[in-house]
Each structure stands twice: as structure tokens, then as C-alpha cells.
Amino acid sequence: MMKKMAEFIIVLCGVLFWLVFPVRAADTVKVGVVSVLSGPLATIGNGEAWSAEMAVNDFGTVLGKKIELVKRDHAYNPGVANEKAKELYEKEKVDMIVACPNSAAALAIAQQALLHKKPFISTSAGTTDLIGKQCNRYVIKWNYNDYMLATTVGLWGAEHLGKKWYTITSDYAWGHDLLKHFTAALQKKGGIHVGNDMVALQTADYSPYILNAMKAKPDVLVLLNVGPDTTNSTKAAVQYGLKKTCKIVHALLFEPNMKGAGTEIFADDYVAGSWNWRVDNPGAREYTEKYMKKYGERPHFMAAAVYSATWQYLEAVKRAKTTDPEAVIKALEGHTFRDMFANPGYIRPEDHMQIAKAYLLRAKRPEEVKEKEDYFEIVGTVPAEEAYGPAGQFGCKMKGF
Amino acid sequence: MDYHFIFIQLFNGLILGSIYVLLSLGLTVVFGTLGVVNFAHGALYMLGAYTAYSIVTLLNLHFIVAILLCPIIVGVIGILLERFLISKLYKLPHFYTLLLTFGIMFFIQDAIKIIYGPEGEPFNIPKFLDGAVNLGFVVYPKYRLFIILITGFLAIGVWIFIGKTKLGAIIRAGTDDSETADALGINISRTFTLVFGMGAALAGLAGVIAAPTQDVQPLMGMNFLVETFVVVIIGGMGSIGGSILAGLIIGELVTLGIIFWPPMSTTLIYIFMAVVLIVKPRGFWGRAAFFE
């Protein structure tokens, strides 16, 4: 009798727990952040996860519900990103996924977003396919794209730095997309593409490619890579004396890599960016100070973009008064906002690209760096419409709802 | 067909080849003598680079000091690893030591990440080796010539040591037949420890030398690890001459690939390995195949 009573109580507790659990889950809004949290690119990816965490904590609650952040590492691998996205949407039941560097990985998550009918805000990948052939209504492209990079630094560079360009490209989806856009920008200014090298990711010795480049005698060396590949290629260019005869333009350049390699290597190189801590945006300084205090380094523009994307998503949930994906996305389409990242930012309904001013940045010489990790000088601004081009120019046919 | 340019590229391929030679010398000696697949070899290379950074940048000593001290420091670390960890597993099948060194690799990499941070450290060419030199056919960075020279000396040095000295003879005896060598009164376990330390020291030296030309970060050893194993297999496990020849060939092969067929440049290494193994299953001059 007592044994049966005990069993009954245990089962009852189990049932009650099982009933209560999903109810509690619906009381929270879950944000998933997928980034590269291991390997040499983690120095960039960590900033994205930290920013998402900051945004979630700073926002507090939305519609009376707590906000929970779930982090996943895709190790810069599209296959892993696909699996993590599936897990986040299905098992963790996140309401939205943000970040994801690596263009092929972002495309994979975009497909998962369409399949699961939940939003994905892609802040960190550059491919214009996300707002082109592979666009869908659940994906919002935040922050930058390869066309913007090529237009901002490419057009200016072809006019002011030189007409003969040599490109060194990382041989994967993102590199190919960059090459397409940078050569198009060069052509617009009547420049000559004197040569290109496709280089495997994570190559340590760039000397043969630098020798190839030197043979072509370019005015500008364009490095279409990121992370350790950027450091190794730039170091080789410096050591072989190529930097003495030509200027260097990067696709992406981040403070952690500059700190790791030493700023003298990147001195007077040019790169485009969508944000720098010095921009005149409401809350940019406060965000930077808080981030530096908590994580010990200055935030790079990917981190700032993730903070903004997460924040604006939560604002959209507030506006739509629901986490229902269609309503939230509709609340973001055509929306203009001002925050620490974009002042203003506008989300184009035609292709879901979040556009804002773009900045032309020059890497400072070591003697010019006066504040901690303040490695860039803003030398120019490009208006949003010019940096991003006409809406829908990449052939986006919105599907989804 | 710009022969001049191709010649410059091939000359430059000697650099890549030199790094492969330095790395594979250490690996093949350990492989051949101890039968240990040292996956931590790349991590020891990285340790050499970080030790160099610490000596030159943190302690403000001359680069030459780093070249002399770092191999000794990394060699001692190698000796400790062998004495306290790896030697315990000699009696077991080979994959046990393989797994152990694999684990050691992760441990070393993460330890460096914790101590120094993950972004890496700036390490540039020392002033006295900076700049370029006019060789007639090309104006070439002084430092890279330095790499070729040092590797050349070292390769000859290791060859003489293993081939012509008494200690080298002991090591060769231990490789060929450790039981008989033991029966003849040679302290085999001390020999093994010494050899592992030597392998580690060579890896560390490679790290010091390569550091100014590369991104010094905790995972820098991973860029060369697989290719180093390929070089050792092609040259023949345990063969010094094989490592030297195979290292140089691989360096040149990759360079040729970059000139003529860029997407295939790294794949060429593996095709070459496959061809060599079909014709000579033990590599060029391998003495004992791993699984025999």
C-alpha cells in the first residue's frame, strides 16, 4: 500500500514536471548565436558571442518574458553549421538565430531558416547570394556584404591608390564572391586586373604568391582573406618588399588579428567597415566601454553588428507584440532605426539587406595608436545607397510567406 | 615560358622545403627509433615559436640567444614528456602512444592559449637579418637565405651525428633491434629518451626559425602537421636522408603546383605520396615499415 502510494506520487510529480516544463519554456524568448568559437578564427568569433550575450542582458525582458541566449560553435564549417542550426531550431526551439561567419555556412543556415520557418539574421557572412539567388523571407542580412566592401574600398582605391590590381584570394565560397565584386568595382573605374592567385585556407607560407604578385608589378595588392591568412599574406608582402612598391587593400581586417601580428605590418593598409568605435552613433562609446571592461579588448565591427541585430530583433518582437516569425519579420521589413551600430539603419523589404553608411578605414602606424587597440582612422564615408547599390540588384525573388 | 621567374620560384621553394626538412627530421628520428607517431610534433614546433617570442620580446634578449636556447628548452620538455608519459606505453600496441601524443597536442595548444591568449603574438624578423640581398638573379630577403643556410647545416649535422658518431650508432642499433642492443648492455630506455628529446628540439628549432615569417598563434603547428607526416612517409620512416630529400621535393612540388596548377598545389603532395608508395612501399629509404 505504501509502496503503491509512493509510486503514484513519483509518477504524479513526473507528469507535473513534464507539464510545467514547456509552459516555462514559452515564457522565455530564446536567441541562438552560431559563430566560430574554436580554431584560429575564434579570436573574431568570440566577440560575436559576447556581443549577443551583452545585448540579451542589456535588453532585459521583452513582452514580460525572460530572454535566453544559446551559443553554438560551427568551427567555420558549413556542414557543422547546418547541424547546429537544425538543432537550435528543432531541439532548443530558438526563436531566432544570429551571426554565422563563413558564407557557405550562412547559406546553409538560411536554408534551415526557410525549412523551419524561423528568422535568421546573418551579420557575419559576406556573400551577396544571401540577398540574391538564395534569398528567402526568413533571412535578414545585417551589417555588410561583399558588394559593399568592394564598392567602399574598391572604387576609392582604384581612383586614389592605383589602377593595376593584383588579387590574392582565399579559395572558398566567400573568396570567390569577393573576387567577383572587387573585379567589378575595379572595372568600373577603368582599372586593370593584372593577376589573381587562389590560395587554400590556412596557408602558412604566402611567399610563392607574393613572388607571383611582384612579377605582375601591381599598384595595389588586394588581399581577399581573413584571420591568419590575412596576417601571413601581409607579413610575406612586407618581407619581400612588395609593400614598398604598392599599397595593400584588405577585404576584412580585425583588431584581434592586428594586435596578434603587430600593427607595423598593417600600417597604411586600407579596408572597408560598417562600424568603428569612433562613429557618431548614439551609444557607440558606451557599448565600446562596457565591452572593453567586460572582455578586455576593443570590439570589432562584427561584434557591434551582432549586438545591433540582436537588439533590433528584440525591439521588433516588442513592436509586433509576439515572437511569431512572420509578424516579427514584417515588423523589421522597411524599418528604420538608430542605434550604436547604424545611424540610421534601414532594412530593405525587397532583399532584406540592412543598409547604413559605410566607412573607409586606414590602419594606423604604430606611433599613431594612442588609445588601446584604436587601430583605425576613418578616412571616408560612403552613403548607404551608394555602398549597397540598388535594392534587389542580385535577383532576389522572395519566397517564404 | 619565363624561365627566370620559374627559377626564382623554385629557389624560393627551398624555404618551404627547409621547414619541411627541419620538421620531418625530428619526426622521422622519433618514428624510426621509438616507433612512436608523435602527433604533438606540430605543438612542439609551436612551443619553439612561443619560447622564441618570450626570449626575444619579453626578456629582450637577442635572437641568437633564442636560436640556441629554444631547442634546448623544447628538447627538455620533450624529454620530460617521454620520461613521464610516453615511455609508460611502449609495451602496448602503437595506437596507444598515438592517442597519447594526440592528447598531448591539444593540451599544449590549450595551455599556450590560456597563458598567452588566443590571438597570437607579433614576431618579426630580427633587425640584423632584415632587408634583402642582391643575388644577381633576384633580390631576396636576407632572412629567408638564413633559413636555407641553417637548415642545410642542421641537416648535415644530424646526418653526421646519426651516421658517424658512437651515439648515433647506438641509436641506429636501437632502431634496428632494440632487444639485442639492450642485451649488449646499451641503456635503451635512456637512448629513447634522448632521441625523443632530439626530435622535440628539432621541432622547436623549426618553430624559432619559422616564427618571423608566420603568424605566431597557438594553432600554427596544424598548418604543417599533415604534410610533415607525408614527407616522413615518402622519405621512409627512420631515414634521415629520406626526410631531407623528400622535404625538399615536397617544398618544390608545392611551389611548382602554385606556378602551373594552383588549385592542385597541395593535392600534388598526396598524389606524389601515392605514386611513391606504389613503387616503393617503404618510401625512399625506409628501413622498417610501421606496422610490421
**DSSP code of A364?**
P
Please tell me what DSSP assigns to residue A141.
Answer: E
Judged by CB atoms within 8 Å, which residues 113-132 of B form the interface with A?
Answer: 118-125, 132
Kindly state the average pLDDT of the residues A62-71. 95
d(CA A45, CA A36): 5
Chain B within 8 Å of A216 (Cβ-Cβ)? no
**pLDDT tens-place string over residues B153-174:** 998 998 898 888 988 888 877 7
**CB B18, CB B151: distance < 8 Å:** yes
Q: Which of B9, B13, B119 sits opposite A257 (nearest CB)?
A: B119
Question: Using CA atoms, how far apart are residues B247 and B232, in angstroms rounded to an integer?
Answer: 8
Check CB contact under 8 Å for A207 and B12: yes
Question: Of A85 and B127, which is predicted with more confidence?
Answer: A85
Please tell me the predicted confidence (pLDDT) of residue A24. 45
Q: Are A299 and A51 in contact (CB under 8 A)?
A: yes
Q: Please determine, for residue B51, whether its predicted confidence score (pLDDT) is greater than 80.
A: yes
| Chain A residue numbers touching B118 (CB-CB < 8 A) | 42-43, 46
Cα B19 to Cα B5: distance, rounded to the nearest angstrom: 22
Percent of chain A residues past pLDDT 90, beyond the cut: 84
User: How deeply is B48 buried, as exposed, middle or buried, from its count of CB atoms within 10 A (0-12, 13-18, 19+)?
Assistant: buried
- Angle, CA A242 vertex, CA A236 and CA A247 arms, to 5°: 110
A 10 A CB-CB count for A194 gives 17
Q: What are phi and psi of A228, to 5 degrees?
A: -60, -30
If you average pLDDT over residues B133-151, what whole number do you get?
A: 86
In a 3-state reduction of DSSP, which class is residue A60? coil
Q: How confident is the model at residue A399 (pLDDT cuts 50, 70, 90)?
A: confident
* Candidates B2, B214, B258; nearest CB to A232: B214
Averaged pLDDT of chain A: 92
pLDDT band at B281 (very low <50, low <70, confident <90, very high): confident
CATH number of A147-273+359-386: 3.40.50.2300
Q: Do B121 and A264 touch (CB under 8 A)?
A: no
pLDDT at B197: 94
Least CA distance to B258: which residue of chain A?
A208
- Side-chain-facing half-sphere of A111: CA atoms under 13 Å: 14
Q: Kindly tell me the burial class for residue B127, based on how many C-beta atoms sit within 10 Å of its own C-beta (0-12, 13-18, 19 or more).
A: exposed
Distance CA A355, CA A178 (A): 18
pLDDT in tens, A188-239: 999 999 999 999 888 888 988 999 899 899 999 999 999 999 999 999 999 8
User: Does the fold of domain A147-273+359-386 match that of domain A25-144+280-356?
Assistant: yes
Which of B46, B112, B119 is best to mutate for the A interface (most A CBs within 10 A)?
B119
CB B174 within 8 A of CB B192: yes
CATH topology of domain A25-144+280-356: Rossmann fold (3.40.50)
Compute the average pLDDT of residues B191-219. Answer: 91
Percent of chain A with pLDDT over 70: 97
Residue B222 corresponds to which cell in the numbers above?
596544424
CA torsion sign, A317 to A320 to A326 to A331? negative
Q: Which residues of A touch B16 (CB under 8 A)?
A: 205, 207-208
Averaged pLDDT, B31-35: 82
Instruction: Tell me which amino acid residue B64 is.
Output: I
The structural domains of chain A, with segments of one domain joined by +, span 25-144+280-356, 147-273+359-386
Judge: A202–B124 Cβ closer than 8 Å, yes or no: no
From the list A209, A240, A265, which residue is nearest B258 (CB)? A209
- Residue A360: pLDDT over 70: yes
Please give the average per-residue pLDDT across A349-368, as a whole number. 95
Which residue in chain A is spatially nearest to B109 when comparing CA positions? A39
- What's phi and psi for B191, nearest 5 deg? -60, -45
Q: Strands A358-363 and A61-62, how do they pair? A: unpaired
Residue A47 at interface with chain B, using a CB cutoff of 8 Å: no
CB-nearest to A228 from B13, B124, B217 is B217
CB contact under 8 A, A208 and B219: no
Whole-angstrom CA distances from B68 to A137, B72, B214 are: 62, 7, 20
Average pLDDT, whole number, for chain B?
88
pLDDT one-digit tens code per residue, B173-187: 777 777 788 888 888
pLDDT over 90 at A377, yes or no: yes
Task: Give the tens place of pLDDT for each residue, A98-154.
Answer: 999 999 999 999 999 999 999 999 999 999 999 999 999 999 999 999 999 999 998
Which of B215, B227, B267 is the best residue to mutate to test the A interface, defined by the most A CB atoms within 10 Å of its own CB? B215
Cα gap B287→B239, rounded to integer Å: 7
B264 C-beta neighbours (distance < 10 Å), count = 12
CB pairs under 8 A between A and B: 97
Specify the pLDDT at position A23: 45
Task: Indicate yes or no: CB of A239 within 8 angstroms of CB of B213.
Answer: yes
A1 touching chain B per CB within 8 A: no
The pTM of this model reads 0.82
Which member of B12, B143, B215 has the closest CB to residue A261? B215
pLDDT level of residue B215 (50, 70, 90 thresholds) = confident
How many other C-beta atoms can be found within 10 angstroms of the C-beta atom of residue B161? 15
Q: Give the pLDDT confidence score for residue B1 in this predicted structure.
A: 65
Task: Give the rounded percent of residues in chain B with a pLDDT score beyond 90.
Answer: 43
Q: What is the pLDDT of residues A141-191, one digit of tens each?
A: 999 999 999 999 988 888 899 999 999 999 999 999 999 999 999 999 999
Separation CA A9–CA A13 (nearest Å): 6
pLDDT above 80 (res A40):
yes
